[in-house]
Copies of this chain bind each other. A is one copy, B any other.
Amino acid sequence: METASLRIQEDRIIEQIKRRIPSAEAGDLRLGIGDDAAVIRTRRGEWVVTCDQFLENVHFVATRQPADSVGYKALTRATSDVFAMGGRPRFFLLSMALPASRTGRWLEQMISGMARAARDFGLRLAGGDTARVERDISLNITVIGEIETGWVIGRAGARAGDGIYVTGRLGGAELGLRLLNRNGTMRARDRALLRPHFYPRLPVEFALWLGRKRMASAMMDISDGLSTDLSRLCARSRVAARIYARRIPKVSVPKALRNDPKFDPLTLALHGGEDYGLLFTAAPRHAKQIPARLGGTQVHCIGEIIAGSGVMMVEEDGTARELRPAGWDHFAVHSRRGER
């Protein structure tokens, strides 16, 4: 979750480091650039590793977010990248930098939320580091996952004819964020709508199933919004996508909000980030084997991969238009930063 310019800069920085670091031992490491996580290949098999920061006033506002949600979400974000590669999360390391004011009750609740996520994902803590800082909580999490050798699911394998699938409903986290950022007091019944933003649910059982079945030709998690992430998958696979607006599983928006264009369900579903569902493609021969529901996770086929480049969306009325990436890093971050 970062601005486009910073993402480009990150790629530049990592390229810079790669150039400066001694030549690669062929085949034992695939960098996480352009994929969700890195794959370490050794004679002992393969591991999926990823690290992710969750920073106060960059990724969350501590005064507006329950402490247990900070812990839950920090571990969820990092673990999502391991599931998205087809890996099975095993261990995590936690570095924390905390102001003194966050070492008491806040910390206990944060840990409680993180422990719940660890249970949900089958993760065990393998180490940590703690420092005290003047301000701004900083959590940094490394997740290590196992994977059978050669079974990694990257972003580059989508082929024309493959179906495009997503898990869960899209736009719920964005709806929660927008409600949170509205001025004024929140109605009690709207509080439940914050849950997808505070406690995003990973499709654990389905992700493990997919990791075992080897049906996905390409996969990633939806962290920056469908329009952005599907564009990335297509670019990496050198293909195009055609999706259907009516097939997209959209967040359910309360009636009272539906007239406000900020709460249009399709817009939220297309461009809202942080749902952490899976986006994957699969060859037509697998279409019937992919369950519509597994372990509480709904799976929807929203379109198909075609030759070319870019993402085309067929509207409810049947007209087709190009869908431009408009998720987190292309527009939303500026207004969000301001709102926060």
Contacts and interface: CB of A to CB of B under 8 A. Distances in A.
Contacts of A132: 2-3, 6, 58
Contacts of A128: 10, 13-14, 32, 51
Interface in A85-121: 90-91, 93-97, 103, 107-108, 111-112, 114-115, 118-119
A133 B130 contact: no
A83 B130 CA distance: 21
B13 A58 contact: no
A94 B108 CA distance: 27
The listed residue with most B CB atoms (<10 A of its CB), out of A22, A52, A53, A126, is: A126
Interface string A132-167: 111010101010101000000000000000000000
Contact of A53 (B16, B25, B131, B136): B131
A188 interface: no
Nearest to A107: B13
B49 A91 contact: yes
A130 B25 CA distance: 25
A32 B124 contact: no
Contact of A44 (B2, B44, B57): B44
Contacts of A9: 103, 130
B51 A127 contact: yes
A21 B119 contact: yes
A288 interface: no
Contact of A20 (B103, B115, B146): B115
Contacts of A146: 42, 44
Contacts of A118: 21-22
A308 interface: no
A312 interface: no
A38 interface: yes
A140 B178 CA distance: 31
A146 to B, nearest CB: 7
A123 to B, nearest CB: 8
Contact of A31 (B51, B115, B125, B133): B125
The listed residue with most B CB atoms (<10 A of its CB), out of A103, A123, A130, is: A130
Contacts of A239: none
Contacts of A3: 132
A144 to B, nearest CB: 7
A18 interface: yes
Contacts of A18: 125
Given A10-B128, A53-B95, 13 more contacts: A21-B115, A21-B118, A22-B119, A29-B124, A31-B125, A38-B127, A44-B45, A44-B146, A49-B144, A51-B93, A52-B95, A53-B97, A58-B131
28 contacts: A3-B132, A6-B130, A6-B131, A7-B130, A13-B111, A14-B128, A16-B108, A17-B111, A17-B115, A20-B111, A20-B115, A21-B125, A22-B124, A32-B127, A40-B91, A40-B126, A49-B127, A49-B142, A50-B127, A51-B128, A51-B140, A53-B131, A53-B140, A58-B97, A58-B132, A138-B138, A140-B140, A142-B142
